[in-house]
């Protein structure tokens, strides 16, 4: 069981949100605090439908984006991020963490053909990852959390990961990453995924330690439906024979492809959105069930009691609780749970992130960092009012801080720097300006 974070008041945005698996993990990690999601983007209407059936926020719209609203009831969800102008992004309420399960796309070679050899942001142009970079550059979240396939490590000869890391570096972020297995975090599924935690440079630790977890004792038998399932989940005799023949042909060629019937006492294989994800996770279920087909299968139901797992069983394999609503057809649910994250893994990583942020924003180091940024601002921009300084330093405060709290903390930092003889104030009114003392 993952130890919960102490509890923070944080705000997030959820990009390429899918059905909300990353958000679910962060909310569970911060169950002792408050997690507000202020912006969501997902262009697949079926995923957006599932998301909206399970989350009630955000409820406020962003001016100028009505045409991008997804046609779902519940949470406000926007579609194609590429159509969101910069002005609208600036209108998103303050947030601390950006959640993003962006698609894996090849962009380094295309970027180089366009002349972006040393410009990682340019090399990511035309991809959805570029939209993530655009949002982070404009809104400056403290942390960005990303999940992707393990193959991203070596995708396009390692160039894809190089571009991702380089693009974050260009906009002032430090990236940490690791490959974690879902079976080490309380679900009986063999699933290795790449997780990336990206901090604003000034807030980044020297090293971020990912949780390792431990091998779960749970097995397939622990996630099965409690009651017998309908005949719709059982394979037809014809389809099963086709799978058997397909596997036989591949085995004769020395390939390991083909269907797999899993023992109830083992882990499930990796869930994927394609048909192979189901075919490599078949099980034998001899509990009483109808032999009358209820779908358009060809021929009778197989006599070996072989069936595919249900969407609810897949949901459990990804760490979703039984309260998670499944509002769309099975075809879409299999795709959604094959594409989503394992909630338990995200929760474990989120606990580490939130504990770090809690310690950081209570530390003397954060106070000194704000003072350092004041000096940098005055040195670069010249004399400034305290209100302008507070506005420029806003990103160094959690979103739960209101304007008055930020201004009070900044005034204290200014007075401290004045006592140290590093800055001086000119004037005695609210229009007074602070400057470097020469």
Residue tagged active-site, from 12, 98, 104, 146: 104
What's the distance, Cα to Cα, between the start and end of the chain in Å?
57
H or E segment and range at residue 283: strand 282-284
Task: Collapse the DSSP code of 426 into the 3-class scheme (helix H, G, I; strand E, B; otherwise coil) and give the result.
Answer: strand
Task: Collapse the DSSP code of 368 into the 3-class scheme (helix H, G, I; strand E, B; otherwise coil) and give the result.
Answer: helix
CB count within 10 Å of CB 334 equals 22
Q: Give the neighbor-by-neighbor strand order of the sheet with 433-436.
A: 384-385, 433-436, 423-426
Task: Collapse the DSSP code of 360 into the 3-class scheme (helix H, G, I; strand E, B; otherwise coil) and give the result.
Answer: helix
Share in percent of the chain as helix, strand, coil (round to 5): 40, 15, 40
Of how many residues is the chain composed? 438
Burial of residue 320 (CB within 10 Å: 0-12, 13-18, 19+) is: buried
Residue with tokens 């069983």: 313
The torsion of the CA quartet 84, 87, 93, 95, rounded to 10 degrees, works out to 70
Per the annotation, the verdict on 136 as an active-site residue is: no
Spatial separation of the C-alpha atoms in residues 57 and 28, rounded to whole Å = 16
Which residues have a catalytic role annotated?
Answer: 104
């Amino acid at each position: 069981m993952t130890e919960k974070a102490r509890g923070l008041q944080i705000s997030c945005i959820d990009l390429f949100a899918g059905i909300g698996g990353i958000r679910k993990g962060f909310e569970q990690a911060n169950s002792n605090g408050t997690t507000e999601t202020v912006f969501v983007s997902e262009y697949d209407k079926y995923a957006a439908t599932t998301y909206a059936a399970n989350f009630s926020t955000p409820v406020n719209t962003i001016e100028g984006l009505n045409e991008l609203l997804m046609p779902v009831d519940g949470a406000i969800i926007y579609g194609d991020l590429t159509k969101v102008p910069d002005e609208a992004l600036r209108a998103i309420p303050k947030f601390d963490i950006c959640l993003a399960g962006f698609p894996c796309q090849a962009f380094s070679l295309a970027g180089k053909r366009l002349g972006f050899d040393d410009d990682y942001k340019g090399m990511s142009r035309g991809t959805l990852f570029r939209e993530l970079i655009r949002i982070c550059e404009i809104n400056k979240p403290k942390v960005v959390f990303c999940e992707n396939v393990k193959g991203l490590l070596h995708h396009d000869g390692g160039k894809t990961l190089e571009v991702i890391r380089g693009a974050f570096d260009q906009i002032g972020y430090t990236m940490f990453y690791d490959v974690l297995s879902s079976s080490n975090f309380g679900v009986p599924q063999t699933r290795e995924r790449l997780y990336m935690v990206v901090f604003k440079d000034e807030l980044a630790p020297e090293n971020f330690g990912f949780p390792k977890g431990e091998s779960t004792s749970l097995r397939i038998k622990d996630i099965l439906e409690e009651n017998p399932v309908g005949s719709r989940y059982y394979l037809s005799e014809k389809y099963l024979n086709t799978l058997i023949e397909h596997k036989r042909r591949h085995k004769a060629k020395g390939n390991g492809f083909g269907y797999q019937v899993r023992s109830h006492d083992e882990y499930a294989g990796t869930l994927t959105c394609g048909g192979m994800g189901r075919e490599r996770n078949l099980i034998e279920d001899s509990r009483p069930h109808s032999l009358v087909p209820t779908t358009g299968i060809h021929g009778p139901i197989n006599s070996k009691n072989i069936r595919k797992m249900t969407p609810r069983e897949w949901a459990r394999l990804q760490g979703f609780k039984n309260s998670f609503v499944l509002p769309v057809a099975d075809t879409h649910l299999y795709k959604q749970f094959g594409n989503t994250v394992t909630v338990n893994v995200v929760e474990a990583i989120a606990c580490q992130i939130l504990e770090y942020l809690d310690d950081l924003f209570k530390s003397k180091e954060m106070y000194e960092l704000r003072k350092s940024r004041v000096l940098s601002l005055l040195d670069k921009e010249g004399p400034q009012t305290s209100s302008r300084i507070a506005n420029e330093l806003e990103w160094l405060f959690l979103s739960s801080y209101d304007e008055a709290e930020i201004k009070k903390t900044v005034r204290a930092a200014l007075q401290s720097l004045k006592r140290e003889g590093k800055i001086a104030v000119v004037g005695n009114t609210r229009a007074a300006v602070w400057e470097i003392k020469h």
